[in-house]
Amino acid sequence: MCADYTPSRKEQIEGHFGVRSHQLDLPPEAWPGYMTPILRGSHEAPDELEIAPAMFGMVPHWADLKLARQTYNARTETVASKPSFRNAWKRKQFCIIPAANFFEPNYETGKPVRWRIERADGGPVSIAGIWEYRPADQLLSFSMLTINADGHPLMQRFHKPDDEKRMVMILDPDQYQGWLDGSLVSEEDVYRQYPADLLVAQPDPMQSRTRAKVPEPVTPVGQGGLF
């Protein structure tokens, strides 16, 4: 399960996705409750991508903002039925989370050591997600989708030994449009484990001041937020 990642920067988003990006005030790393960019289909032109600032951790209209600390990941096996996610799933509110890398804990030494995982080619990790919108405070929020990672040569090395192995769902460029418009939702191939040889990982222990306290309350996007 991913609770910490580095959002892709402006140049990477524009170069890889072909989307004109504003100069966003991005945090060095994103934790649940932080505002970071997502990509989704444009309202004016559904075949085109638009970038939007959103809270990491889905917050439906009926929930408190603190729920973001529990809804940053959504299991593909249950996303359609869980109360926090089912409305977004039913409405096909799909998105891509552009990440330079993401972090997971490795327990091979007997203690948790944070590792950084990224694409071997240096490109963005395009994580599949779902988004929700709260009209009352104009807050856009999202959750990353995760799949089972049992047997994955790389991702099975992370999390506690007795925990189920999970990994974020990573998309290839030829899957972007199909994921965003919902046409790939029933296709088994989109939920495959991402090939281990296309990823690299290395220890990246967290520094004492790396993780700032999640801001509380978070300012909604439409009312002078981070972007």
In a domain, 65, yes or no: yes
CATH number at 147 reads 3.90.1680.10
pLDDT in the model for residue 195: 97
Spell out, as residue ranges, where the chain has pLDDT lower than 70.
23-24, 46, 208-227
In a domain, 224, yes or no: no
In a domain, 225, yes or no: no
Average pLDDT, rounded, for the chain: 89
In a domain, 21, yes or no: yes
pLDDT in the model for residue 213: 47
Burial state string for 66-90 with b = 16 or more CB within 10 A and e = fewer than 16: ebbeebbbbbbeebeeeebbbebbe
In a domain, 66, yes or no: yes
The torsion of the CA quartet 62, 65, 69, 71, rounded to 10 degrees, works out to 30
In a domain, 222, yes or no: no
CA distances to 32, 109, 137, 215 from 64, rounded to whole Å, are 13, 38, 12, 14
Q: Which residues contact 77 (CB under 8 A, 6 or more apart)?
A: 148
Residue that the structure tokens 């192995």 belong to: 165
Q: What range defines the domain where residue 91 resides?
A: 5-213
In a domain, 219, yes or no: no
- Split into its structural domains, the chain has a count of 1
Q: Which residues contact 5 (CB under 8 A, 6 or more apart)?
A: 29, 30, 97, 99, 100, 101, 102, 103, 125, 127
101-155 pLDDT tens trace: 999 999 999 999 999 999 999 999 999 999 999 999 999 999 999 999 999 999 9
In a domain, 227, yes or no: no
How far apart are the C-alpha atoms of 33 and 43, rounded to whole Å? Answer: 25
